[in-house]
């Protein structure tokens, strides 16, 4: 019963007049392999206010993950404009984009992407090390704080192989919080977890949203998608709803 109740909870709707955080205008993405071309996005217009929780849904191959990659600057559009937090990230150099991403976006992947030879604490501190934020002591102190936020303060020195799948994803979320970014993005963040653990992970993301962070995530799980107050459906590289 508790699990059913957890699914019933929905993210709060941002107040009217909230500023736009993400703006995609006429975004196209064409992948090329020799003479072959594949249009992953065919003209996406999408506006997401700050503080919103949005689920991106749609069939496999529809372009969902490509949108995530465009929003985070992992990939660049073939055409159109990408504005996040007032910055035209499609116009940034690779160096500027890497710095911007480290400061402004926390990314949570399906397969955790933890370095196997580093402890939970060492994995969580990596973004701070990359940006040289504060002293070494301050960076580890912040990383330990973030691990405490996700309920892993007792396992700072554990390697990923010594953690369950849910615990590894908690480390990944703690890592995404390293620089206190305004935007948390997940590409199937619960896709590699059992149902119970997936609910726990989503509750953690929902709590971050309630604290003011914008959360954007791709999911095939319609139950989890339904917990966002807005769903954007992508089909054949176009927005089909939401």
Q: Residue 186 is part of a domain; what is its CATH number?
A: 3.40.50.300
pLDDT on residue 68:
94
pLDDT on residue 97:
93
CA distances from 80 to 20, 111, 206 (A): 17, 30, 31
pLDDT on residue 193:
81
In the chain, the largest separation of any two C-alpha atoms, in whole Å, equals 55
Domain count, the chain: 1
Contact 66, 240 (CB under 8 A): no
pLDDT on residue 229:
81
pLDDT digits (tens, 9 = 90+) for 106-123: 998 877 789 999 999 999
DSSP string computed for 15-71:
PTTPPEEEEEEEEEEEEEETTEEEEEEEEEEEEEETT-EEEEE-STTSSHHHHHHHH
pLDDT on residue 213:
94
Average pLDDT of the segment spanning 163-178: 90
Average pLDDT score over the chain: 88
**Residue 154 pLDDT exceeds 80:** yes
pLDDT digits (tens, 9 = 90+) for 21-74: 999 999 999 999 888 999 999 999 999 999 999 999 999 989 999 999 999 999
Give the other-Cβ count within 10 Å of 14's Cβ. Answer: 20
Confidence bin at 2 (pLDDT 50/70/90): very low
CA distances from 204 to 103, 190, 212 (A): 21, 11, 13
Contact 215, 53 (CB under 8 A): yes
This prediction's pTM: 0.86
pLDDT on residue 31:
94
pLDDT on residue 133:
80
Average pLDDT of the segment spanning 137-147: 93
Beta strand 79-84 with 87-88 is: antiparallel
Contact 174, 122 (CB under 8 A): no
Q: What percent of the chain has pLDDT over 90?
A: 63
Q: Which domain holds residue 195?
A: 2-241
**Residue 13 pLDDT exceeds 70:** no
**Residue 3 pLDDT exceeds 80:** no
Give the other-Cβ count within 10 Å of 23's Cβ. Answer: 17
Task: Name which of 210, 144, 213 is nearest 180 in CA terms.
Answer: 213
pLDDT digits (tens, 9 = 90+) for 190-226: 887 888 888 888 888 899 999 999 999 999 888 889 9
- Residue 88 has what DSSP assignment? E
Confidence bin at 188 (pLDDT 50/70/90): confident
**Residue 131 pLDDT exceeds 60:** yes
């Amino acid at each position: 019963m508790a699990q059913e109740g957890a699914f019933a909870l929905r993210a709060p709707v941002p107040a009217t007049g909230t500023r736009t955080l993400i703006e995609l205008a006429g975004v196209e993405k064409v992948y090329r392999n020799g003479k072959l071309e594949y249009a992953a996005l065919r003209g996406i217009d999408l506006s997401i206010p700050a503080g919103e929780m949005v689920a991106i849904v749609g069939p496999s191959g529809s372009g969902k993950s490509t949108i995530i990659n465009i929003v985070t600057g992992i990939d660049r559009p073939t055409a159109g404009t990408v504005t996040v937090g007032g910055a035209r990230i499609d116009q940034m150099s690779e160096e500027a984009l890497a710095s911007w991403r480290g400061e402004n976006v926390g990314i949570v992947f399906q397969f955790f992407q933890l370095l196997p030879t580093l402890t939970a604490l060492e994995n969580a501190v990596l973004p701070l090390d990359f940006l040289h934020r504060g002293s070494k002591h301050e960076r580890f102190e912040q990383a330990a704080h973030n691990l405490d936020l996700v309920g892993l303060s007792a396992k700072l020195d554990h390697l990923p192989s010594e953690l369950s799948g849910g615990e590894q994803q908690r480390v990944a979320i703690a890592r995404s919080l390293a620089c206190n970014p305004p935007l948390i993005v997940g590409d199937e963040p619960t896709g590699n977890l059992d149902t119970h653990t997936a609910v726990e992970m989503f509750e953690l993301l929902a709590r971050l949203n309630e604290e003011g962070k914008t959360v954007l995530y791709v999911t095939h799980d319609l139950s989890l998608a339904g917990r966002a107050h807005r769903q954007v459906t992508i089909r054949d590289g176009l927005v089909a709803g939401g």
